[in-house]
Structures are given as C-alpha cells and as structure tokens.
Structure 1
Amino acid sequence: MSFWAGPAIWVVAAVAGLVVGSILPRLWFALLPMAVIKAFFTGLLADLRTLFQSLDDDNFHQHYLRLVRRVLGYLGRSLLALVVTFGPLILLGATLGLHVVSLTEAESAAYAVYPAATEARVTPQGDTLTVDLGTEEATFPREEVPLVLHSAEQPSAWLSIIPAHHVDSELANVAGRPLVIRAAPHGWNVFWPWISGLEFVFYGMAALGSCLQFVVFKPKDSSAESGTEGMDVPGVEYELARLNTTFSGTAVSIGNLETRLRARKLQRKDVERPVFITGLARAGTTFLLELVAEHPSIAAHCYRDYPFLMTPLLWNGFVSRFAAKSKPVERAHKDGIFITADSPEALEEPIWMHFFPHLHEVGHQHSLAPEDRNAAFDRFYREHLQKILLLRQGTRYLSKGNYNVTRIPYLARLFPDAVFIVPIRHPHAHVYSLMRQHQRFVRYAELDPRVPEYMKNIGHFEFGPHRQPIDPFPGGEVGRETRDLWSQGEDAAGYAVQWEAIYRYVWQIRQADPQLAKQIHVLRYEDICAAPETQLKPFLQEHDLWQPSMQPRLEAIRPATQAPKLSDAQRTAIDRTTRRTAALYGYELD
C-alpha cells in the first residue's frame, strides 16, 4: 500500500493541525495586537461621548464621520486578520478531502487511456475502493496523479489531489470501466461535498492547538510590558522580514521578474550623479539624508519600502492601496529625529548581504574594490536604483548606508559621476554616542528578544547584542581586535578601533586615487553645527542639491553643548588609538 493510504497520513493530519492551530493565536495578535484593540475601544468610547455631547452642535457631522472611520478601520483590520489567519487553514484543510471538478463526457473520456495499468492498482476493500500507486507514479504525465472515475452514465469526474484516496463504494459501483489514474493540471474546488475523517482530525487538532496556545501562552500586551523604553517591532513586519530574509534568493528572482515587467519604463530612468551618504554611524548621516531628500530631484528609500525591499514597485503598489498617513514618531534611537512611513531611510544593506554574504563576518575584509566585481549584483543593484527613481519620480538617487564607506571604490566604478558624502565627528563625542546607542539597543533586546534578529534582517549591526565590527583592511585583524575588546566590556576602546580604521581607510583611498578624492567629500560634524551657512549650504549648492525649503533646517542647527561623559581610562584608550588619524582631519586630542 502507498504511504498516503496507510495510517501515517492520519498522524500527519493530526500533527499538521496541532502545529497550525498553535500558530494561529500568535499570528492573530501580530496582525491585531492587544494595544490596537485597547486603543480602538478607548477611542470608540471617547468618540461616542463626544458625539452625544454634540447632538446640537455644528460639528456633529464631523464627529459622526470620525466615529464611522474608526469603526470601519478596525473592522477592516479585523477582516484582514481573519483572512490572513484562517485562510491558509481552510485551504490546507480543503486539500485533505475529495474535490469536485465537473468535466463534460468528452473531457472525461479523454482521461481513459490507462485502463490496464489502473486495474493492477485498484483493489476493493469492504466499503471502500483503495488505489495504490506503488512505485509507478513517475510513469504518468507530469507526475501528478489524481484519481478519475469515469462512466458513460455519469459524465462527470471525481478528482482527488492526494495520490491515493479512499473512494466511496457507491461511486465505484456507478463508475464502470475504465477506472483511470492520470495527471490533471487544472485546478480543484475548495467546496468539498463532505468533510472526511482526515479533515475532522486536522480541524480538531487545530482547535486543540489554538486552545493550548491561548491558555499556556497568553498573548502579552507588549506596549504595557515594555513601556516607553521599548522598541516598537511591528509583529507582521517582523514575520514578513524573517520570511523575506530566509528566502532572499526567491525575493531576488521576483525582483528580476518585476524588472522584466517594467523594463520599458525603467529604461527611461538612468542613474545619474547619485549621492551616497556614508561613514560611521552617529556622525550626522541621518540629518544629511533628511536634508538632501527635500530636494525635488532626489529619490531615496523610505521606511515603507521594507520588508519587501527587492520588489519595491510591486510592494509599494500593494501598500499604497491601504496605507494611511501616519503621525511622526521619534525613532528608536531617541535622538530627537521624528519619522513616518515616508521618511527616507538606509535600506540598501539586505541587497549587499545577499550578493556578498561575507560582508558582516568577523575575520573577513569588508571593503570592496573595483576588481571584486559581481556582475549579478551590478545588474540587480542598478536596476533597483532605477526602480526607486521611477517609484519616487526623481532624477537622482540618494543613499544612506554606513557600510558603503568600505565600498566607495566599488561604487565609483559603477557610477563614475557619483558624489560621496562622508561625515566625521570628534572621536570623543563619536565614540560616546556609539556607546550610548549600544546600551540603548541592549536594553531593547532585553525587553523584546526579537530586536536583534529584526535589526540583522534590516542590515543594522552597529549597536545591540548582535553588533559586528567593520574591517576595511586585509587579514581581518581590525574586526578581531574590536570583537575581543567588546567581549571584554571595553566598548570605548572597541569603538575607537572602529573609528580609526574607517577614517584611515577613507584617507588612504583618497590619497591613492586623485579622481576618487574629488568625489569624496568629508564633512566635519562640528563645523556643520557651528556654521551651517558657510560649511554646508555652499557644498549643497555646488552639487545642485540646495533647495530654499532647507533653510529652516539649517537655522535650527545648534552646536553640541554637552560634553561626552567618558572616564579617564576611556579617554586614554580613545586617544591612544585615534590620535594619529584624528590629526589628519584636524582634530586635536587632549
């Protein structure tokens, strides 16, 4: 007998039901968290109270519409949760029973081509007729072997997508010769005529799994647990990001398909004079990104492009139908920068990680030179930038990527007219800021263990328990030294090694290539803060990046007044490591 006709399939159905059922509550509360449910009912009561208080008010209509929008929005989200949560369960259960496909007599007769082979594998057993496919399954067309019962009196066919299925004896009696097993490439019907024993087991175990999940693993209100100190990791986005990272190869393939579908429009979008903001984190890269992104010619990645980064056109085409304007919220760094889904963000790294898997491994050289060419990456990356230009209707691509600092020569080969902006900061203040952010993200990870994986999936390794050093030089010594210092609790000394290595590398590539040096522009953080009108505005004007709307941002810049709170030992470690390189950029260390 076939495996599927034996008792093992009942075990498979039971296990599958238990597993699926245990996942359902988590998926439901990822789509509809307790915080959202609480916020809805709290807002609903407030809206009702306001509505009844304004019965004779001119604003009654507005209050009524707000109430209706709130209710419809919640119902829509609940419906989405129902479809996403229970849709796969229904479809999976449907595959376990009989499925009806109506065929004409002529269509049904077309399947009667293997009568002799069928008789050898059809055995009456009591009230059922059992089909055993044995080892001859591969002899049938396309290796798909549903069961077809054909009769002149009954010009319809019963198909099953399970290789061997117990067929009611009454049907077997109605169906005359021939009984045929043959591939059927067309679809199946989810409205099965009855629920089979397999489906009863599957749904029963799914219900048991869901009950156990609700009782044993009660959903927690993450907002209440973490308070204001936690990092908001959206449940759905987290799960989708994990899926996208696990199957990044598939995502790239779909991205290539997207390129072919939009080839005609993409051909009109040349990548000209792209702008790359790069360097060690906490030197003002985000400020520069948001400032330059205001220029109407600029196109950059936005938060809403994640997690399906490889297919920005398809993903944005989908989310744009459902996305609503969000209120600005302070980003997880708690540094006074407020963001929305439309704010520019550094999102390139997953692409680099897919095509260059070693880029965040300790002991490897992370810098890329022109001779390290990866043709598949070059093509995909250029097409991806064209998609961002098309999506945002821009003419110049803007990138923020901290790790791109070690890829400047590679990028300069791809885009000879590119502009590279490398901000730098005094090593004392820079290292201190990096340390503070690391401590913050460590706390986030303690409150929510999903944080490290979420940050890794998005390509951020600067802070937190998952942090990894950058090593621009051969041999991997910088990475190993940094890792050893961090593991010993010497965060300041480890970040000082990073600061020295990164900015020494930038200095060296500028000295080695005069043409490349003209493309790399090092901007000192302190100079920008002290005199933005003279240090930043002329630079932006020179590179056709200035926009009058940027003026208020420049006027709001203030010099840093708080001295970094470093111990004497930390200052000594930083000075010893960075002094020589710091002097190259005009920094004098005490």
Structure 2
Amino acid sequence: MTGYSISDQILHRFILGSSFINEFLFDLECSIFEEKKASELTHRPVFITGLARAGTTILMRSLYESGQFASLTYDDMPFVMAPNLWRRMTSKNKKVRIKSERAHGDGIEVDFDSPEALEEVFWRTFHGKEYIQRTSLRPHEISLETHRAFESYQDLVCKKYGKARYLAKNNNHILRIKSLARYCNHAAILILFRDPHDQASSLLNQHNKFLTSPPFTRTYMELLAHHEFGATHRPFIFKKNQPIEGDPKTLDYWLDRWCQYYQYLLEFLAEHNPQNVMLVSYQRLCREPEYWKAICKFVDIPNIPANFSAPPSEHLPSSIERIEHANALYNALEQAAAAKIADPKQHPKTENITGC
C-alpha cells in the first residue's frame, strides 16, 4: 500500500467506500459484458478459505500457476466490481510495477498481475450490513438473488482473463460456508488448517505488525473487509451471545479464535457432509507430495509442480488447557481431512470437542 499516490488513495476511497457505487458499477458491467444466454456452469470454480495464516495465499498461487483459472488481481483495483470496464478504461495506460514483498513481511512478493483476495468487495456490497458489525463479523445467509449475481460475477472475471474457471481466496467465506456449499455445489471448496500453536503465533505477530500500519493501509483493509488482525481487527463471532474476550496481544486470544473457528467448521461438516468441501492440512502439503496430487485431483487439474514450506515454529507461552483443546481439534481436523482423501463423498462424524 506504500506505492499508492494521493490520487490513487482518493480514487480507492471513493470507489470502494460506497456500496451504491459498487452496485452501480456491477450493473453497468453486466449490461455491457455479460453474455445474454444463461450460464450452463460447465466450468468448476475453486474457492479457498481458512483462518488467516493457514497457507491460503500459497495454495491459491499454486493452483493459479496451472494456467486454468481466472482470479482477481491487483490490476483490478479499485474497480473490482467492473473488471472488464476497468480494463477498457486503462488499456492504454497499463501500470507496471516490479514485484515487491507484501506488507505482511512473509516473503510473498506481489505486483499488479498477482492474484489476490479482493472478492470480498462483492459480498460487502450486497450483504455487508448483515455480517459486518461494529466489533465483529457474523455468519450470514446468501440470498438466491445474490447467488445468481455471484455466478455472473465469476463469469465476468473469467471473461476478462480469457479463462473458463474462476479461482478465489477469501478468508471470510467461513461466514457464508453453509450457503456456498449449498448453492455452489458444482464448486470445489478448499478449507485450510495449520498447527494451532504455529498459526496462532503467526496471527499474533501479524496483529502486532499491523497495529502501527499507516492510515491508508488501515483504510485499505477496511475497504476490503479484511479484519483478520491489526488495528482494524474484528473477530469472527459464530454464536449469537458469544462474548468477545481476551487480549489480542496475547497468544491465548488467538488460540481462542483458532478453536472457535475450527469447532464451528467441524460441526458444519459433521451436520451437512458437503461433498464439494475438502479440508486441507498445510502440514501435510509441506511434507507429502502425494497429498498435493490428491488436491489437484479434487479440483480437476493435472498434477503440476508446487513448493510448500512450513515457516519455523515459535515457542510462545500459552495456556496448557488451550493448547490441549486446540490439539484435540487439530487431530479431529487431520482425521476428517484424511477421511475425505480416502472417500471424497464422506466427512466423518466428529465428537463435539468443547473448550475455549
């Protein structure tokens, strides 16, 4: 975000800050570029999600390298709701930027052609008031009308990039996972998880890093509804009267977020057994080449080279009870992920693991 000029910042605030403008741009985009015939949904989109710092960006990029997918990129900002119109407007002035490390400081480099998690602008435009609360993010249902608009949106992104399949990484999809699994039953939904202590430690580090981010970085994260950590943090709250407790500057707080997220997910899988959802263990991706092949098979692409590596673990102090509860959930996730590989039609029934 440091490379944005004052005029760029003003444009981003003006366009992304108004749901009315974004809905108007989307309607305009559809009227100009949408195919008139009904979509046959012969292509299979892929949605990647998970609690932040689970490895979702690396997985998205690995699939994107197959060349089979269209995905929103930094080049679509700030007109993410009208990508084809924006391309027409900027075709003679395409920006060029040398790759640089993203603000997370995790070694991942980006430029204008890099796929990125920008899709949440769509959901904030149509359902923002339902799930974005002052201090938290809450689960919500997708309306049939929005689902149909989302199908059109996928087609428009694919049209811009000349691909038949849509790919998106969106860490907020847990908030609408029930609707997505039901409405988008032709899609492949990959949900990542990672060792709880390592993932919570990474969340804590990122939270501290983004607490002192520049004002426009904070605005940028707000406009994209990215509230995972930092000064704009708003936790996922899955139960109506669930309190928001703990200090975000402690590891225990992030272990609680991890436990609540994946408890909710396991309960959803056990209750609904969606065949189009696959749990993905990041640890297994890093150590088992055959596991990556199984994921490629699930999303219907040829096996392609990929490199996954686990960052070094940090031994930060935490509550023994929380660690034990998180490890029990982690083992249940590993079992569910292994069962899905063995039988793609099933998720095992898991016991309700209480705690956190």
What TM-score range do you get, normalising by the shorter chain?
A: 0.7 to 0.9
Q: Residue 543 of structure 1 aligns with which residue?
A: 299
Q: Structure 1 residue 383: deviation in Å?
A: 1.3
The code of the aligned residue for 2:291 comes to Q
Q: Residue 45 of structure 1 aligns with which residue?
A: none
- Superimposed CA distance per residue, residues 103-137 of structure 1 (whole angstroms, 9 cap, x where no aligned partner): xxxxxxxxxxxxxxxxxxxxxxxxxxxxxxxxxxx
Structure-to-structure mapping, 1:453-468, within 5 angstroms: 453-468=219-234
Q: Structure 1 residue 341: deviation in Å?
A: 0.4
Q: Structure 1 residue 269: deviation in Å?
A: 7.4
Q: Residue 485 of structure 1 aligns with which residue?
A: 246
What secondary structure does 2:50 align onto?
A: coil
Whole-Å separation in 2 of the counterparts to 1:317 and 1:266: 23
Q: Residue 278 of structure 2 aligns with which residue?
A: 521
Q: Return the match for 2:138 from 361, 366, 369.
A: 366
Structure-to-structure mapping, 1:249-288, within 5 angstroms: 249-264=20-35, 267=38, 270=41, 272-288=43-59
- Is 1:379 the counterpart of 2:148? The answer is yes
Q: Residue 186 of structure 2 aligns with which residue?
A: 417
What secondary structure does 1:398 align onto?
A: strand
The code of the aligned residue for 1:506 comes to L
Higher RCO, Cα 8 Å, sep 6+: 2
CA contact (8 A) 1:347 1:459 kept: no
Whole-Å separation in 1 of the counterparts to 2:283 and 2:230: 26
CA contact (8 A) 1:367 1:472 kept: yes
- Superimposed CA distance per residue, residues 76-118 of structure 1 (whole angstroms, 9 cap, x where no aligned partner): xxxxxxxxxxxxxxxxxxxxxxxxxxxxxxxxxxxxxxxxxxx
Q: Structure 1 residue 277: deviation in Å?
A: 0.3
Is the alpha carbon distance of 1:240 and 1:437 closer, same or farther for their aligned partners in structure 2, counting shifts above 3 Å?
same
Q: Residue 84 of structure 2 aligns with which residue?
A: 313
CA contact (8 A) 1:278 1:404 kept: yes
CA contact (8 A) 2:53 2:199 kept: yes
What secondary structure does 1:276 align onto?
A: strand
- How many residues align? The count is 334
Is the alpha carbon distance of 1:437 and 1:274 closer, same or farther for their aligned partners in structure 2, counting shifts above 3 Å?
same
- Superimposed CA distance per residue, residues 492-529 of structure 1 (whole angstroms, 9 cap, x where no aligned partner): 22211211111111111111123x0x221111111111
CA contact (8 A) 2:49 2:169 kept: yes
TM-score (structure 2 length as normaliser): 0.86
CA contact (8 A) 1:461 1:468 kept: yes
Q: Structure 1 residue 428: deviation in Å?
A: 0.5
More helix by share: 1
Q: Structure 1 residue 342: deviation in Å?
A: 0.7
Whole-Å separation in 1 of the counterparts to 2:95 and 2:303: 28
Q: Return the match for 2:332 from 570, 577, 584.
A: 584
In structure 1, stretches of 5+ residues that fail to align are 1-229
The code of the aligned residue for 2:153 comes to H
Whole-Å separation in 2 of the counterparts to 1:365 and 1:336: 28
Is the alpha carbon distance of 1:239 and 1:572 closer, same or farther for their aligned partners in structure 2, counting shifts above 3 Å?
farther
In structure 2, stretches of 5+ residues that fail to align are 336-356
Is the alpha carbon distance of 1:436 and 1:582 closer, same or farther for their aligned partners in structure 2, counting shifts above 3 Å?
same
Q: Structure 1 residue 451: deviation in Å?
A: 2.0
- Superimposed CA distance per residue, residues 383-416 of structure 1 (whole angstroms, 9 cap, x where no aligned partner): 1111001111111111100010232221122221
Is the alpha carbon distance of 1:476 and 1:232 closer, same or farther for their aligned partners in structure 2, counting shifts above 3 Å?
farther
Give me the identity figure in percent. Answer: 25
Whole-Å separation in 1 of the counterparts to 2:17 and 2:132: 17
Whole-Å separation in 1 of the counterparts to 2:37 and 2:195: 42
